[in-house]
Amino acid sequence: MSRENPEPTVRDVADWWATSVSRVEPNLIELRGRPVQDLIGSISFPGVIWLMLRGEPATPGQERLLEAALVSSVDHGPHAPSIAVARMAATCGVGLNNAVATGVNLLGDVHGGAGEQCMRMLSEIAAGAAAAEVVGRWRAHSKYLPGFGHRFHTVDPRRDPLLGLVERAVADGTVEGAHLRAARAVEELLADGRDRPVPINIDGCTAVVYGELGFPPPLARGLFVLSRSVGILAHAWEETGQGRRNKGPMPPSILPTPLGREQIPWPGEDPAPS
């Protein structure tokens, strides 16, 4: 090797992959400096998520709030694009891991990103900006206000339990309440002059929780992905047991067929061959 490009050393490689997240050596596994054998059986999965992302254990109150937000976002029915596509993928012979990955890969800015967007908006208000000014700026570039309103629910059934937990966490000093107050200010602003209010939805509620817990906005989406992966997995697994092949978005009974053939496939026939 030349002087300009010396032979790499073990230290060079170690420095390249240096991390405080985990350490693995023969007969040793540490997560954030804690031996894994000390964590097994003594910490919950939400507690491990907090530890891995934050580098220190959560308090019991922080862990309860994080767990509640994760539970609330697990599933929203087979019509959700990430769930629907995972179920279709599960019938195409790609394997369960690929079916789950297909669903997760649909969680983008439009489907799955509203929590992160709402958290950015609420953080501006929590930092002292006027709610009307912030909402006005967001509405200037989009007709959708992230985290508020719902196409199915007049009141999202997950709203009151989550915000109630945040209220109790504010009362006991676990969190400060700035993001909760920001969300309430936006709700009041949107309700002004309307017969029907535009309440906060699950994306907004989890944005409040993750904001109160001190997570940066990009992790609001990351945590949503962790949560929704559970529902995606459950749906993909159920679909694998139903015997369908090449499931499409519509049942074969209502699809047009060549030559007016009967809509019901023969036994063993692919209803929608690729």
Distance CA(201)–CA(222), nearest Å, equals 18
For 63-101, write each residue's pLDDT tens digit.
999 999 999 999 988 989 999 999 999 999 999 999 999
Distance CA(204)–CA(207), nearest Å, equals 5
- With contact defined as beta carbons under 8 Å apart, do 3 and 12 qualify? no
Q: Give, in degrees to the nearest 5, the angle at Cα 156 between 128 and 107.
A: 80
Whether residue 14 is found in the same domain as residue 131:
no
Higher pLDDT, 135 or 155: 135
Closest Cα partner for 213 from 59, 33, 74, 42? 59
What's the token pair of residue 250? 């519509």
Whether residue 117 is found in the same domain as residue 51:
yes
pTM value is: 0.86
What's the token pair of residue 239? 């679909």
Which domain does 34 fall in, by range?
Answer: 9-42
Domain count of the fold of the chain: 2
Distance CA(68)–CA(200), nearest Å, equals 17
Whether residue 121 is found in the same domain as residue 14:
no
Whether residue 109 is found in the same domain as residue 157:
yes
Instruction: Give the per-residue pLDDT at 274.
Output: 37
Examine residue 256 and state whether it is found in any structural domain, yes or no.
no
